[in-house]
Amino acid sequence: MKAPILSFLAFAIPIFAAAGDGDWAAAYAKARTALAKLSNADKAALATGIGWEKGPCVGNIAAIAAIGFPELCLQDGPLGVRYAPGITAFPAGITTGSTWDTALMYARGNALGTESKALGVHVQLGPVGGPLGKIPEGGRNWEGFSNDPYLAGVAMAQTVAGMQAAGVQACAKHYIGNEQELNRASMSANIDDRTLHELYLWPFAEAVKANVTSVMCSYNKVGSAWSCESGSTITDILKNELDFQGWVVSDWGAQHTAVGSANAGMDMSMPGDGYGNNKFIWGAALISAVSSGQIAQSRLDDIALRILAGWYFLGQDASYPTVTGWSSWKSPTSSVPSVQGNHKTVARAIARDGIVLLKNEGNALPLNKPATLAVVGYDAILNPQGANACVDRKCDNGTLAMGWGSGTAQFPYLIAPLDAIKAQASTDGTVLTTSTSDSPSAGASAAASAATALVFINADSGEGYITVENNVGDRNNLDPWHNGNELVAAVAAVNKKTIVVIHSVGPLILESILALPSVVAVVWAGIPGQESGNGLVDILYGSTSPSGKLPFTIAKAASDYGTAVVPGDDSYPEGLFIDYRHFDKSAIAPRYEFGFGLSYTAFTYSNLSISPLSTATPSAGIAPGGLKSLFDIVATVSATITNNGTVAGAEVAQLYISLPASSAVPASPARQLRGFDKLSLKPGESGSVVFQVRRKDVSYWDVGSKSWVLPTSSFGVVVGASSRDGRLTGELA
């Protein structure tokens, strides 16, 4: 095996970074000076998009000459600049989460921001903290990072920090309760207060802590109010409790009334005109509502102040690029700047380090110059019509490298698995046979005489305005697409060394595949973006030892999850108990647990050290307004990790904490992720992992007092390789 490629990033990023070099007080001072020069018509213009397809970006705010405010550009999306040419199509959020690598999370965010700014984008619509992913079939789960709020929260904070350090305003979306595509614009998410705070709000709170400048409210209702008209979630929680300094924008077309949305705390209407039907809910109607007293003048001033403050906070008032040569609606011109830089190295690193090795019997992997190799499956090749042939990726043709919908971008190129394997096979002198359809008989014919067979299968999903193969956004089930189970079975029947490679937006039920004795390895390659094949070859051939870990649980049966897409309103009956929390509570054995992932080497854990819980931290509840103290470090947990294998590799050590089993503490999950640290080690080398435990990490949301409460009893501590592979146990008191 070749020497592993370790992280190319020389910098270390704090796990909870604050974004940008701006200062909110200074930004608001500038905003107040500018506000004094604005009429109410100007303020309403700041708050109202100019209309769908009436500017170059998916969202546009008109320029205001009196204060030198440019035409503001808001553009998708979370993995690349949508519709723009020559950008980097990064791995999706869920694959980024699979790396458990804070440096890569930051680097990806910084690259996204750098490309957006160079193209004149002021606000990039991402990252995604909702859907959190409680429903495994949820169509847009792949845009986010994990269904664990802690892992998702770290990724949100790092992404926001990276984007805004590049000078682009990040927009945390979709706030809140948009957990499925079915009926997303009519259903209500009825989330109890504790569950909202401890699960669904958590990633957004981390984004706010990282100084995110904007948040997007979602299509659904929250309780009886539309999300964009929910004063309890926008004003009471986001702006008052979390002390959010930025502005709230509607999802496109998610605003319903002028007065209700303004008084609830929404600050910007997009795209403004109801998707081209010229029905402006704000604009002149906003001015009229202020004149009639239905909306206070102070609220209109606050709207303008918040939008201006976000602009000043990141210094966008000084020499910011303009949109040149490209448009969301027209073919680009030759004057479009090149923005990719060396970002393909970040894309490849994430595609590589986000791969999770699920099974590897008899050291089937890494491949070592096999004499013969079969590559089977439609997912191994580029879409024959081209990587960008399907608008917004609304098909599952060829290899799957991103889902579908508004969270997509144009591939500048896409390295398909077969192309990368061909290059390696040529170097190794390997004879390849291929079957690039999903025909079981053709696959078996290609694999019959090969020493090893690689079978590629996938499963896709996306946003509900698009239907692909009868899947209306959400997946219909958790099976592989295109009869993937049958394809694998046919190959495994004739080839005793069958390796399955999976590209998927989320969990699949793998029982029929794993039951086949000839399936000796399973590689979870996620949603890898433009460097798909290159990242995969790095792992398959062992230039890098796999280090990815699952950001969700893979069950033995779909019913094991306890959640599913619902036809009407969702009362969230499962409460806190989603994914591994549910499996633990119900004593269900997963197929592969949250945080699981194999390596080509082996790691041992030792020397657990737990500092005493800080006695300087009071146990009384922290009410709204006391947010900063929630991030105080109250304990430190550390351990030693040793690579006792024969090759270099990286291990993700995970910290799980159990709240005290006390009558004073409400029913809680058996264990919850509250820290992780990724360590790269050479053979025989040891290193320390350190977890800083914040007050919030060991508190629960008390519904009665509406505050975070730190229990006074002792906490269970587990440090291990997954949610069910605890290596070291102790007590925090």
Domains of the chain (ranges plus CATH)? 344-549 (3.40.50.1700), 601-732 (2.60.40.10)
Mode of pairing for the β-strands spanning 72-76 and 123-125: parallel
Name the percent of the chain lying above pLDDT 90. 92
* Residues 173-209 pLDDT 10s: 999 999 999 999 999 999 999 999 999 999 999 999 9
* CA 644 – CA 626 distance, rounded (Å): 45
The Cα–Cα gap between 368 and 93 comes to 31
φ and ψ at 434, to 5 degrees? Answer: -135, 150
Q: What is the pLDDT of residues 206-253, one digit of tens each?
A: 999 999 999 999 999 999 999 999 999 999 999 999 999 999 999 999
The answer to whether 400 touches 461, Cβ cutoff 8 Å, is no
State the pLDDT at residue 658.
98
Residue 334's pLDDT band, with cuts at 50, 70 and 90, is confident
Catalytic residue among 42, 101, 148, 251: 251
Q: Burial, 567: exposed, middle or buried (Cβ in 10 Å; 0-12, 13-18, 19+)?
A: exposed
pTM value? Answer: 0.96
Contacts of residue 683, defined as CB under 8 A and 6 or more positions apart, other chains included, come to 601, 643, 644, 645, 646, 647, 648
Residue 521 predicted with pLDDT over 80: yes
Q: How wide is the angle at C-alpha 516 spanned by C-alphas 515 and 517, nearest 5°?
A: 110
**392 has pLDDT over 80:** yes
Residue positions counted in the chain = 733
pLDDT value at residue 338 = 87
pLDDT at 14 exceeding the cut of 80: no
pLDDT at position 106: 98
Is 192 annotated in the active site? no
Quickly state the pLDDT bin for 1 (edges 50, 70, 90): very low
List, for residues 75-89, the tens digit of each pLDDT value. 999 999 999 999 999
Query: Residue 314 pLDDT more than 50?
Result: yes
Is the model's pLDDT at 11 over the cut of 70?
no
Closest CA to 147 of 137, 157, 162: 137
pLDDT at 325: 94
Please tell me the predicted confidence (pLDDT) of residue 618. Answer: 54
Query: Is the predicted pLDDT of residue 448 greater than 70, yes or no?
Result: yes
Tens digit of pLDDT for each residue in 466-491? 999 999 999 999 999 999 999 999 99
Mean pLDDT across 39-67: 98
* Residue 276 confidence class, pLDDT cut points 50, 70, 90: confident
Task: Put residue 463 in one of left, alpha, beta given phi > 0 → left and psi -120 to 50 → alpha.
Answer: beta
Q: Among residues of the chain, what percentage have pLDDT more than 70?
A: 95
